[in-house]
Structure 1
Amino acid sequence: MQIIKKIKSKYKVIFSIGLVGVLALSIMSFDKKTDYFEINKHLDIFATLYKELNTYYVEPIEPGELMRIGMDAMLESLDPYTNFISESEIGQHRLQTTGRYGGVGAVIRQHNDKVVISEPYENYPAHKAGLKAGDILIQVDDEKIENRNTEQVSNMLRGQAGTTVELTVKRLQADGTYEEIMNVLTREEIRVKNVPFYGWADDGIGYIVLSNFTDNAGGEVRSAIESLQKEGELKGLIFDVRGNPGGLLSEAVNVSNVFIPRRQEIVSTKGKIPDWDRTFRTLNDPVDTELPLVVLTNRGSASASEIVAGSVQDLDRGVVVGRRTFGKGLVQTTRSLPYQSKLKVTTAKYLIPSGRSIQSIDYSNRLDGRPVSTADSLKVPFTTANGRVVFDGTGIMPDVEVASREYSPLTRALITNHVIFDFATKFSAENEEIAPPSTFEITDETYNAFIAFLKERDISYETESERLITELENKLKDEKYMEAVEETLASVLLKIKEDKAEDVYTFREEIEELLATEIVSRYYHRSGKIEIGLRYDHDILKGLEILHDQAEYRALLSPQSVQAE
């Protein structure tokens, strides 16, 4: 009898979860011709199928786990942005929309088999307790960190604001030994800033970084510009949304409103349910509609970032510089489900002021089960306010494209093997302070110390030349030509190996940039990291070049400037 009750209990739980999932799908496909018999039929099949599995499958079935797999697979077949959010995941969802969470205020990263602090947020518990980048996490309260990943550790660190957590770390000392340090931290509500940095990129040229679109993003951008105007004469602005994945659509409108006049249409949404279609216009007076403006974008700029960059481009309010954006032109709405869970569901596509969609992938048409990119033949031309030609289906193409930074194989190996990060940890243990970000330099002494540090690490890497020679060797062996050229190839490989020993000098400039950026972040945190990056950043340098040449700036916004497909 108890077994029967258990089965019935499981059946009820699964049926309710299944009902939510299938109804979510059925609502999205609803129209006047919907056959309710079909819905009920499949719900019945679904519930009966699980009942049979639960009763007869050879191994015990965990209802929540099995159903989560089923729901995730169902939603994944639609698009990557339609997701089920369980009660335990609400905190992360809240962080993405509000920028707030309860915790200690530290970014952590996986470092081989360890979890380390990579950045303590200024003026939050981790920073106030003296925790530093490079500290190795050993224990949280009574639980050892060993064999845990960053997600698991992050969940251990987060909690209700006002609660305490005991954190034990190992810290590298100047003499090369490690000291174990224990701190009791009181969790706070962590508010991740939308604008982590604003300042001056050059004489009269401001620079603002926008990293998120959570609550009050528009207000933070507005305040940053007003602060710059109070500090000096603002002749132009570089506005950086590179790597910004987006966020709240309303904040995309508010951010655009900083530069664009009141009552201007910024974005409209078109979905299956006409009553939900909306047009979003600017509501407030802008800060400045004439200030020369450059918006920086890259492949990591998505969604709300693309609305801002796209409205600036379509209205010829400024020049977009960098690389093509991600191409996410879909709108998600969060719907409440039973047991404190939620469904984030794609409900519409959005159109920017010219009337174009920037969605680059068509999830409704699939080839071999995989979504396809919008074909060039299907891309439609639109015009900006000044008559410049732009295209849909591509994300936002920059008005001025800057090639992506390509690092050498050695530099990539230094990054992936944490050598840059670890040297910065060593350097900060040995040096209590450094010069400000604006003047800090990697001296010959520091670089030679890095070379000595690198020799101890025994880092191996393969150059493109070596990879191609390996492919050639395999082909020569297959075709029986290897014997004739074996000595020649061996000689070439030896020469490459000899030259690789000099790579640390050949690519010193790019390695120094990364070293300086990481070292400065240990003393001046995120703002310092961004500030020192101003002197190396090719996109920023191109933006400065355009803003300092007003003739070029105006020419880029003229009708003769046509966007490439």
Structure 2
Amino acid sequence: MITRKKLFAFSIVLVALIALSFTKPAERYFEIAKNLDIFATLFKEVNALYVDDVNPNKLIRTGIDAMLNSLDPYTNYIPEDEVEDYRTVNTGQYGGIGAITREIGNRTVVTMIMEGYGAQKGGLKIGDEIQKINDIELAKLTREESGHLMKGQVGTPVTLTVKRKGVEQPLRIEFKREKIKVNNVPYYGMVGNDVAYIQLSDFTPDAAKEVKNALTALKEKGAKSVILDLRGNPGGLLIEAVNITNLFLPKGKLVVSTKGKIPENNLNYETLNTPVDTEIPVTVLINRGSASASEIVAGTLQDYDRGVIIGEKSYGKGLVQVSRPLSYNSQLKVTTAKYYTPTGRCIQVLDYTHRREDGSVGSIPDSIKRAFKTSSGRTVYDGGGIDPDIKTEPKEAHVLTQVLFEKGFLFDFATQYAFKHPEPVNPRTFSLTEEEYQQFIVWMKDKNYKYKSYLEYELQEFSEEAKKEKYYSELKGQLDQISNRIAESKKNELVLYKDEIKLLLEEDIVARYHLEKGSIEAGFKYDDDVKKATEILHDNAKYKKLLNL
């Protein structure tokens, strides 16, 4: 068991180590050795004397995580058994069959099939429930254990036993694992007659190459402008961000600078290649999930007035990490520098250097944010992510919609719909009819999806405060009346939130026929950001005015 005393003792070691930055080198080395010795002897005593048995690996991991978490969330320890997953995230590659699964209740279901890989070639379908992997029942495994069973050495066999709607007996399907490469660009295509749309979801190796290929192909199809969608993109390799901006900027342009404690980390990254097109109008879509490398691309294009940024303020991660090998095949991912856009902006929103007394971290206050000028003289600011040139309102899914998704009701209805309607649908024009949506409402009647709305939580909190303040007896009648009105409204909730429920249903249904690309296309008709970007790109005067050109 880990006590507060142990963590307090460990924090003393940490504070001592931080203080070393103000000491002379000889004193610093002595203090490091001293504190490491204190920690080793402390751990030895705890291990020997603590009332219960302690797990050395778990205890040390807790200590390491607590120490690194006091720095920032991006400096992490990766033990040997997690290194492979870490590499998968950073490279987008793994050995598997190309199927994405999800747990719904006690079921493990296939939610997406990647095109061209073993899962698709072997006949696996979205909606299939995986019951066994290599004759081992999934019910007996954790999510992590089943994930490791699915992945493996390229060329090795794996057998899945699946339950499929409409098929009485479970199916046994054999596959050979192959090298799976998750595309950085899951979709590109035309929006209208002359606007290219490129969705970039990651910055793993070849991200710039994939964007370049997409842009080139769409220009050949007649694209006169481009939408680059970075919404929800958490970032990745900095060099890929540099190369992507290079597609729209000429050689020799500064893209990003990094500055750290060690001089070797103070670097300037410039465009080095011949661009694809320095004139084509560009809009970039961002939201709160656009971070790091996404912000480099958006910020650089904004600084050079090379594109109009549309959406929400981005995440605000202006820190650079590198990986360092440790003993026993483990690794350390450590923050080594901050990055700065061409104007000199650091878009880091949280100040981990100056923590509050309770250890919490605050945003950089507006009062100390600095103004910078873009190439055409527009004012932009540092210290808080990338501010879009055109702000759009975020759309939060209602609690009901979230519950329907999490419990798998939308997924199961889509599976049933595809079983009853085997003919493929057109992703861009498909829409559930009023009659079909009514069928969904009827189908939901015997389903358990009870939930508390935000309003109900607030009403409950208000009631509890009223009891504390001795006002509850006076207000009880009114509170009961409000509660009854909310309950009455919830009876009609599937109609009230029809638009957002219908969107998810349609995307899920289309995926059954056209996989991920179809699902993305099905969402275009509901996508206000894409509509706004298309509108701007079709209005050259407004586009130039926004960029002060």
AA matched with 2:115: E
Partner of 1:136: 129
Cα–Cα, structure 1 residues 309 and 30, in superposed 2: closer, same or farther, change >3 Å? farther
CA spacing shift, 1:147–1:309, aligned 2, 3 Å: farther
Aligned to 1:520: 510
Matched, 1:213 2:206: no
Structure 2: distance between partners of 1:493 and 1:55: 57
Residue 217 of structure 2 is aligned to residue 227 of structure 1: yes
Structure 1 segment 13-32 matched on structure 2, within 5 A: none
Which of these residues, 165, 171, 174, is aligned with residue 172 of structure 1? 165
Q: 1:85 aligned to 38, 57, 78, which one? A: 78
Is residue 267 of structure 2 the alignment partner of residue 278 of structure 1? yes
Rounded to whole Å, the distance in 1 between the matches of 2:62 and 2:403 is 36
User: What corresponds to 2:46 in structure 1?
Assistant: 53
Secondary structure of the structure 1 residue equivalent to 2:446: helix
CA change 1:54–1:469 in 2 (3 A) is closer
Matches within 5 A, 1:471-550: 471-474=461-464, 477=467, 486=476, 489-550=479-540
Question: What residue in structure 2 maps to residue 182 of structure 1?
Answer: 172
- Relative to structure 1, the CA distance from residue 492 to residue 363 in structure 2 (aligned partners, 3 Å threshold; closer, same or farther) is closer
- Note if 1:426 corresponds to 2:419: no
Residue aligned with 1:359, SS: coil
Matched, 1:349 2:343: no
Equivalent residues in 2 for 1:382-401, closer than 5 Å: 382-401=372-391
Aligned in 2, Cα 1:373/1:446: closer, same or farther, shift over 3 Å? same
Counterpart of 1:553 in structure 2 is: 543
Find the counterpart in structure 1 of residue 327 from structure 2.
338
1:249 counterpart = 2:238: yes
Q: Distance in 2 between matches of 1:478 and 1:76?
A: 38
Supply the distance in 2 between the matched residues of 1:163 and 1:30 (Cα, whole angstroms). 55
Counterpart Cα distance in 2 of 1:80 and 1:178: 49
State percent identity of aligned pairs: 46
Q: Deviations over 1:421-449 (max 9, x none)?
A: 12112212222223120221212332122
Q: What is aligned with 1:8?
A: none
Instruction: State the shift of 1:172 in Å.
Output: 2.4
- Tell me which moved more, 334-343 or 467-476: 467-476
Residue in 2 aligned with 1:15? none
**TM value normalised by structure 2:** 0.91
Task: Give CA-to-partner distance per residue, 1:522-549, whole Å, 9 cap, x none.
Answer: 1111111111111111111111121111
- CA distance in structure 1 between the aligned counterparts of 2:335 and 2:59, rounded to whole angstroms: 24
Shift, 1:374, TM fit: 0.8
TM-aligned CA deviation for residue 278 of structure 1: 0.8
Q: In structure 2, do the counterparts of structure 1 residues 58 and 473 end up closer, same or farther at CA, with 3 Å as the change threshold?
A: closer
For the structure 1 residues 247 and 481, does the alpha-carbon distance in structure 2 shift closer, same or farther, using more than 3 Å as the test? closer
CA distance in 2, matches of 1:104, 1:288: 37
- What is the deviation of 1:65? 2.9
Q: Which runs of 5+ in 2 are unaligned?
A: 1-9
**Local SS of the residue matching 2:205:** coil
Q: Which amino acid aligns with 1:310?
A: G
More displaced stretch, 339-348 vs 244-253: 339-348
**Residue matched to 1:68:** 61
- Backbone CA RMSD of aligned residues: 2.5
CA 1:50–1:546: 2 relative to 1, 3 Å: same
How far apart in 2 are the matches of 1:357 and 1:433?
A: 52
- Seen in structure 2, the aligned counterparts of structure 1 residues 252 and 27 have a Cα distance that, compared at 3 Å, is farther
Give the 3 Å change call, closer, same or farther, for CA 123–479 of structure 1 in structure 2.
same
Higher mean C-alpha displacement, 521-530 vs 484-493: 484-493
What is the deviation of 1:388?
0.8
1:167-218 CA-partner distances (Å, limit 9, x unpaired) = 2222222xxx764222222111110001110001122111000011011111
Residue type of the partner of 1:309? A
What residue in structure 1 maps to residue 181 of structure 2? Answer: 191
- Code of the residue aligned with 1:404 in structure 2: it is P
Letter matched to residue 262 of structure 2: I
1:472 and 1:277, CA in 2 relative to 1: closer, same or farther beyond 3 A? closer
SS in 1 for 2:68: helix
CA-CA distance at 1:29 after TM superposition: 5.1
